[in-house]
Amino acid sequence: MSKISEVVQRARAAFNSGRTRSLQFRIQQLEGLRRMIKEREKDIAGALAADLHRNEWNAYQEEIVYSVEEIEYAIKNLPEWVLDEPTEKTAQTQQDECYIHSEPLGVALIIGTWNYPFTLTIQPMVGAIAAGNAVVVKPSEVSENMSNLLATIIPQYVDKDLYPVITGGVPETTELLKERFDYILYTGSTGVGKIVMTAAAKHLTPVTLELGGKSPCYVDKDCDLDIACRRIAWGKFMNSGQTCVAPDYILCDPSLQNQIVEKLKKSVKEFYGEDAKKSRDYGRIVSSRHFQRVMGLLEGQKVAYGGTGDAATRYIAPTILTDVDPQSQVMQEEIFGPIMPIVCVRSLEEAIQFINQREKPLALYVFSKNDKVIKKMIAETSSGGVTANDVIIHLSVHSLPFGGVGNSGMGYYHGKHSFHTFSHRRACLVRSLLKDDPLKGRYPPSMAKMARH
């Protein structure tokens, strides 16, 4: 038996012991995670700096705070979430007890990603623990420093048999996916998502796939461009564009294009200074392979700002492209880097048509003072989530589900949605053994009853 098989079997044996069933145990484990974050915050920030050139403030704002809030929200609400939910009754079940009982699925596998390697591993883990599961954690090998840190610190704060961490690259993940799990949550690319889903299908294992896509950003003529462009620039260029829900490209009327370019440039300089390479707030591309891929997207493009890069430090300048051809390579794949293409459309209807001709994105953004424009965009398109007059921020609301649709993924989590994702909602009906007379009509023989009917 391989080491990975042994780890998974140990997690299943620990789950089968029943110790995750109690509310008290689950809360203790969540408190352990919270303590881990508070006590090892500097180590977490250090790993993020080494992998992605994040400073301590950005590490806290973009990852640590979301994880702590998710844990605290779960601890506060879990006593209510675990209660049986009474349901509406039919005329025939008025004397019965009908309810939904949430039970843990078993052993979950969480495959993290490299762009937010802490929070996008810990947040789903919170939901899986809250629901009473064992959890095998596989951090991304691309963010190597964070992967090694999680493997070191998680066993120090939570049950090491129930919540093991497995490190390694494609061979280890491939071997891991041969094992039987009761749920898999994967965050990453659509291509690898298909591999995960294929492996899961062999065991009929349900999955949540948090993928990506090209998240459009429509800027209406009736809009405060200064505020819109500041918010767009913030969401696009944070983490050097390596955010799954970053605005991928802008759709706007041709008359707005030059104004948007100037206002985006102004915001970039406010955030990162004249040379973003010298800014402590500006990130780096995670690997040389990703650096080459993103730089390749600039070929043949009209660069209105930026466009430079440094392979040695994996730096790519904040870049704006204008008059972008929808058929060009930069519009065929998720950019996942600090490049903002602007595509001109002549109406809201044309923007909606443009979006609907492409794969469904993980997020969609619309900027307008006109509520009818916003409502029309929401009503006539499809995406994992929407934020109007800002970007990314819908992810921070615990009561909103975070997930994709179509090529951008399936399933969702965050807050109570995570608890439901990692639970089996079991239909329960409890009936008395007294008074069988009301049920006589259902028993054979049927001939006499049919005549009366």
Which residues are catalytically annotated? 210, 244
CA 77 to chain centre: 21
Residue pair 17/247 in contact (Cβ under 8 Å)? The answer is no
Contacts for 444 with CB less than 8 Å, ≥ 6 apart? none
The amino acid sitting at 46 is G
Contacts for 71 with CB less than 8 Å, ≥ 6 apart? 30, 33, 34, 37, 126
Residues forming a β-bridge with 284: none
| Separation in Å, CA 201 to CA 172, 175, 180, 207, 341 | 19, 15, 10, 9, 38
Residue pair 276/297 in contact (Cβ under 8 Å)? The answer is no
Residue pair 443/106 in contact (Cβ under 8 Å)? The answer is no
Beginning with the edge strand found earlier in the chain, give each strand of the sheet holding 183-187 in spatial order: 134-138, 107-111, 183-187, 207-210, 409-410
Q: In degrees to the nearest 10, what's the CA dihedral of 306, 310, 311, 316?
A: -30
Beta strands in 69-178 (DSSP E): 85-86, 97-104, 107-111, 134-138
Residues forming a β-bridge with 413: 402
Closest CA to 267 of 305, 315, 298, 295: 305
Contacts for 127 with CB less than 8 Å, ≥ 6 apart? 74, 413, 414, 417, 418, 419, 421, 422
Angle between helices 371-380 and 348-356 (to 10 degrees): 20
Residue pair 340/217 in contact (Cβ under 8 Å)? The answer is no
Residue pair 410/419 in contact (Cβ under 8 Å)? The answer is no
Residue pair 218/252 in contact (Cβ under 8 Å)? The answer is yes
Alpha-carbon dihedral sign for residues 130, 131, 137, 143: negative
| Euclidean distance between CA atoms 277 and 294, whole angstroms | 17
